[in-house]
């Protein structure tokens, strides 16, 4: 059974090493090193009959403890945090020293090893648990399940030993204790490794989705994100019979800005306007760049009259501001078109977007730097 656990650890270590060999993945290499330590440490501890006992006890336990330390360091790197070296290295050092000091005190050594490795498992669990809300997807739950199994392994061993239910020798002889120790150890490795791989995949998927839904220049939602959010909010508006307001605004004479000040200055204007407007919106509102110099603001649970008030405030604030770039002051104004579900009949979200676009066109026709409904 020890060989089975070692093979699982080794296979996972090789798989992770292959994945991280072509590109740098924070934490992957550390986790693969941890799995390799585990793959070596378990048989070194288990095959005590064919390995010098002192070497088996000291090297085997230290390698297993080092594996857990590498797992913890890998989790820190996954979250792009500095590795807590004390939390990672001190337990490993204590295991090494304890195996030497307690080499001839079997019962006390067994309980001490179980306690130290239990603390390592708890540190690993808490490191993931406190950051679960910052973790994309649900794969972290599989990792937590694996670590929980590790906690149960060492807690049960320590409790059984202290209660006199078992002895250190029972782990190395066929029976219930040995079966539980090695089978649960295999499941621990499998769940933990698959969980960490899944966490990286979930984060990668989230990053790709973010890129696909984010405007590269301004960092706000892009056209695809606007369409999806509008469809979602429109459906909620219909279902709950609540108003939905849409603002579409366009920077006035933006081509003139590009022609006179250059495209770099034009990009700076777009970024500055996006940042300025975003800070004035509510958390529930959605803001995106529809294309070029056109922007859209989605205001859930907002009537047309409230939408007009928000648009007037945006216009008033922008009229008293200019954007400075490359030592030049660039006056920036915009026109706003407003459409709301409480001001007309709209069968689908595209109709509301079209109505806002038509209102924007009217604002442009009426002289720009104004709003229209």
* DSSP H or E stretch at residue 313: helix 304-319
CA dihedral (356, 362, 368, 369) positive or negative = negative
Q: Which residues are paired to 296 by β-bridges?
A: 248, 288
371 in Cβ contact with 308 (< 8 Å): yes
Of 273, 312, 278, 308, give the one whose Cα is nearest residue 293. Answer: 273
Provide the 8-state DSSP code for 331: E
pLDDT computed for residue 367 by the predictor: 87
Helices and strands, counts by H and E, the chain: 12, 7
pLDDT computed for residue 106 by the predictor: 81
Calpha distance 271→218 (Å, rounded): 5
Q: E strands along the chain, which residues? A: 244-251, 286-291, 294-300, 322-325, 328-331, 334-340, 371-372
What phi and psi, each to the nearest 5 degrees, are found at residue 221?
-60, 150
273 token code pair: 């306007």
Q: What is the CA radius of gyration of the chain?
A: 31
64 in Cβ contact with 27 (< 8 Å): no
Q: Is 219 left (phi over 0), alpha (psi -120 to 50) or beta?
A: left
Those residues whose C-beta lies under 8 Å from the C-beta of residue 270, and which sit 6 or more positions away, are: 217, 218, 251, 289, 293
Burial class (CB in 10 A: 0-12, 13-18, 19+), 313: exposed
- The stretches in the chain having pLDDT less than 70 are 1-6, 16-24, 164-182, 320, 326
pLDDT computed for residue 328 by the predictor: 77
pLDDT computed for residue 206 by the predictor: 86
Calpha distance 212→204 (Å, rounded): 12
pLDDT computed for residue 104 by the predictor: 86
Calpha distance 262→255 (Å, rounded): 10
């Amino acid at each position: 059974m020890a060989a089975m656990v070692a093979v699982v650890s080794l296979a996972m270590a090789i798989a992770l090493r292959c994945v991280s060999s072509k590109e740098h993945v924070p934490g992957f290499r550390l986790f693969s090193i941890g799995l390799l330590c585990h793959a070596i440490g378990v048989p070194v501890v288990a095959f005590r009959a064919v390995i010098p006992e002192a070497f088996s006890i000291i090297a085997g336990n230290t390698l297993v403890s080092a594996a857990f330390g590498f797992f913890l360091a890998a989790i820190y790197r996954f979250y792009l945090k500095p590795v807590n070296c004390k939390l990672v290295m001190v337990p490993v050092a204590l295991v090494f020293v304890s195996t030497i000091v307690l080499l001839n005190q079997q019962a006390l050594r067994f309980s001490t090893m179980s306690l130290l490795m239990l603390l390592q498992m708890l540190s690993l669990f808490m490191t993931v648990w406190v950051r679960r809300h910052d973790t994309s997807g649900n794969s972290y739950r599989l990792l937590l399940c694996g670590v929980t199994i590790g906690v149960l392994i060492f807690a049960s061993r320590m409790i059984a030993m202290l209660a006199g239910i078992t002895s250190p020798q029972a782990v190395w002889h066929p029976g219930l204790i040995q079966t539980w120790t090695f089978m649960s150890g295999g499941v621990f490795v499998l769940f933990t490794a698959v969980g960490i791989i899944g966490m990286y995949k979930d984060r990668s998927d989230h990053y790709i989705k973010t890129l696909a839904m984010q405007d590269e220049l301004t960092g706000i939602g892009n056209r695809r994100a606007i369409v999806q959010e509008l469809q979602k909010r429109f459906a909620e508006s219909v279902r709950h019979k609540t108003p939905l307001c849409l603002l579409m605004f366009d920077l006035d004479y933006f081509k003139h800005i590009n022609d006179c000040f250059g495209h770099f200055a034009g990009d700076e204007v777009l970024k500055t306007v996006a940042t300025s407007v975003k800070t004035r919106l509510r958390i529930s509102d959605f803001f995106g760049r529809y294309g070029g110099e056109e922007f859209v603001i989605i205001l859930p649970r907002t009537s047309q009259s409230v939408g007009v008030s928000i648009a007037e405030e945006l216009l008033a604030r922008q009229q008293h501001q200019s954007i400075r770039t490359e030592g030049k002051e660039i006056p920036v104004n915009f026109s706003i078109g407003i459409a709301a579900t409480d001001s007309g009949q709209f069968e689908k979200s595209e109709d509301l977007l079209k109505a806002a676009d038509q209102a924007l066109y009217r604002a442009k026709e009426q002289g720009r730097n104004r709003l229209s409904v």
